[in-house]
Amino acid sequence: MGCNFSSQSKVSDVPAACDKPIPEPDVIGKEENIEPIEHSAEKEVVEKKESTPVPPPSISPQVALQVPEIRASRSITPASQKSEDPYSHIRLLLLGSAESGKTTVLEQVRLLYKQHFTESEYFHRRAFIYHNIFKSIKALCRAMRMSDIQFADPINMGRAQSIIADEHGHYGLFSKDLAEKIKHIWNDKSMQKLYARRSQFNLNDSASYFLNNIDKINMVDYKPSERDLIMAYVPTCGVQNVIFTACNQSFQLFDIGGQKIDRRKWALQYEGIDAIFFCIAISEYDQVMSEDMVTNRLDDALNLLQSISEDPAFATTPIYLFLNEIDVFCEKLSVIPLSKYKPDFKGGDQDDAIDFMENLACEALGKRDRSLYRVYRCIAIDTQMMAELLSTVFKDIAKRKK
C-alpha cells in the first residue's frame, strides 16, 4: 500500500519521455547574477545566481552563443543574506539529486505564478537547448555504435563518427552542415529503432522533443517557448530563488544544484526554512550517478531523502515529497523490469510499481512523524498537473503557518 496523502496521478496518457543524459564533464563558466525582476502589480521578485554564463546579447548570435565549457566559481550566497527581510516570506527549499526535476518545479512556479522570464534568461536557456540537442545526438550515436543495430543509410555512420569525435559544447546555432548531419542521423529508420530502446542507455528526457524541433530551433531569431523552457535541462550551479504570492501569502522558493559537489553547500541554505520540496526521479531505478558511474541513482536519492529527513535542522519542518517522472517510469517498466533492480518488487502493474516506489520513499521517511510529510506523484513537465499539485501544496503550507 502507498502512503497517505498521495495524489493519485493518472499514469495513462502521459507525454512520451526517455532516459537521462550520458554523463559528461561539468558545463560552465563564471558566476552570473541576473537582475531581479520587479512586477509593478505585486512587486514580486526573482533573484538568480547561476554559474552558467552566456555572452551578452549584443554579440552576434552565431558567435555569442558559444558558451565556454569551464566550470568556475560555484559559490552559494546563504539564503538568509539574499533579501532585506528574508523572513517576511514563507521560505521553501527544493532538494533532491541532480536531474530529479527541482528546476522544472521552480520554472513551473514561475510560469504559473506569473514570474516572467527576462530576455537574458531566454538567451541563457536558448544556449543550453543547443547544447542539449548536441549532447542527445552524441549519446544516440554512441549508443548506436555500442548496439547491434546498423544505420539504415550507411552514410550516417560517417556522420555519427564525426559527431562522436566533436568535442565542442555547442551552445549556439548549428552550422547548416551540422544541422543537416543531426537531422539525417535522427531521421534514420534504424535510429528510431534504437530510440525505442532508449531506456537501455542514458539519454536526456527531452531528447526527442528538441530533436524533432531542430528546424524551428536552428534559426537566428529563435526564442524558446514556455514549453521549451520547461523541457530544457540547465544544470543548476549555485542557488536561485523566486518570490511569488499564493493563497495571499508571500513565498520564496530556493533551488540548489543536486550534483554531489553542490550538496556540500546545501547546509548554507537551511536556516529559516519553513518547508522542503524534495524531488525524486523514480524512473532512475536502473541508472548510475554521473559523479561516480557506480552508485544507483534511486538508492542515492533515497539515502539523501533519509539524511534530510533525519537532519536535526528539519526536525519539525514539513517535507513535501514529489515522486517525479512518473511518465518516464511507466514507459521504462515494460523494457527494464523493476524487479531486476529491486528484487523485493514481486511484480504487478504500473500502479503496483508506483506504490512500491512510494513505499521505499516512506521507509526513508520512516523516523518522521506522519504529520510532517506528504507524498505526491507527479510529472514535473506537465504544467496542468503541477498547477493542481502546487496549489494544494501551497494551501497546505499556508494553513500550517496560521
Query: Which residues sit in the known binding site for Mg(2+)?
Result: 103, 236
Judged by CB under 6 A, which of 9, 66, 104, 156 binds ligand GTP? 104
In the complex, what is the shortest distance from the CB of residue 283 to ligand GTP, in angstroms, rounded to a whole number?
A: 8
Minimum distance, C-beta of residue 87 to Mg ion, in the bound complex (Å): 25
Among 108, 206, 241, 252, binds ligand GTP (CB under 6 A): 206
Tell me, residue by residue from 214 to 243, as one string, x for binding to ligand GTP by CB under 6 A and - for no binding: ----------------xxxx-xx-------
Can residue 236 be called a binding residue for Mg ion (CB under 5 A)?
yes
Which position among 9, 51, 66, 103 is part of the footprint of ligand GTP (CB under 6 A)?
103
Binding residues: 99-104, 205-206, 236, 255-259, 324-327, 380
172 binds, among Mg ion, ligand GTP, none (CB under 5 to 8 A by kind): none
Q: Total number of residues binding ligand GTP (CB under 6 A)? A: 29
Contact segment (CB under 6 A) with ligand GTP among 64-72, 91-99, 246-254, 286-294 equals 91-99
Judged by CB under 5 A, does residue 51 bind Mg ion? Answer: no
CB 383, min distance to ligand GTP, A: 11
| DSSP label of 296 | B
> 512500491: which residue's cell?
356
Angle at the Cα of 225 (from 222 to 230), degrees rounded to 5?
Answer: 125
Q: Are strands 45-50 and 238-246 parallel, antiparallel or unpaired?
A: antiparallel
Q: CB of 113 within 8 A of CB of 246?
A: yes
| Cα(26)–Cα(51) distance, integer angstroms | 11
State the binding partner of 100 from ligand GTP, Mg ion, none, CB within 5 to 8 A by kind.
ligand GTP
State the nearest-atom distance from the C-beta of 158 to ligand GTP, in Å.
30
Ordered strands of the 275-281 beta sheet: 32-38, 45-50, 238-246, 249-256, 90-96, 275-281, 319-324, 373-377
Which residues fall in the annotated binding site for GTP? Answer: 99-104, 205-206, 255-259, 324-327, 380
Query: 139 phi and psi, to 5 degrees?
Result: -60, -40
End-to-end CA distance of the chain: 32
Choice between 332 and 368, CB closer to ligand GTP: 332
Helix, strand, coil percent content, the chain, rounded in steps of 5: 45, 15, 40
Nearest approach in angstroms of CB 324 to ligand GTP is 5
Question: Residue 389 binds which entry of ligand GTP, Mg ion, none, with Cβ cut-offs from 5 to 8 Å by kind?
Answer: none
User: What is the Cβ-side half-sphere exposure of residue 198, based on CA atoms within 13 angstroms?
Assistant: 26
Contacts of 374 (CB under 8 A, 6+ apart): 5, 318, 319, 320, 321, 393, 396
Among 31, 44, 99, 228, binds ligand GTP (CB under 6 A): 99
Contacts 24+ apart (CB under 8 A), 362-370: 362/2, 362/3, 363/302, 364/302, 364/303, 364/305, 364/306, 364/309, 365/305, 365/306, 365/309, 365/319, 365/321, 367/309, 367/310, 368/309, 368/310, 368/319, 370/4
Count residues near Mg ion (CB under 5 A).
3
In terms of CB distance, is 103 or 218 closer to Mg ion? 103
Assess 103 for contact with Mg ion (CB under 5 A): yes
Smallest distance from the beta carbon of 236 to ligand GTP, in angstroms?
Answer: 3
Binding site for ligand GTP (CB under 6 A): 17, 96, 98-104, 204-206, 230-233, 235-236, 257-259, 279, 324-325, 327-328, 379-381
Binding site for Mg ion (CB under 5 A): 102-103, 236
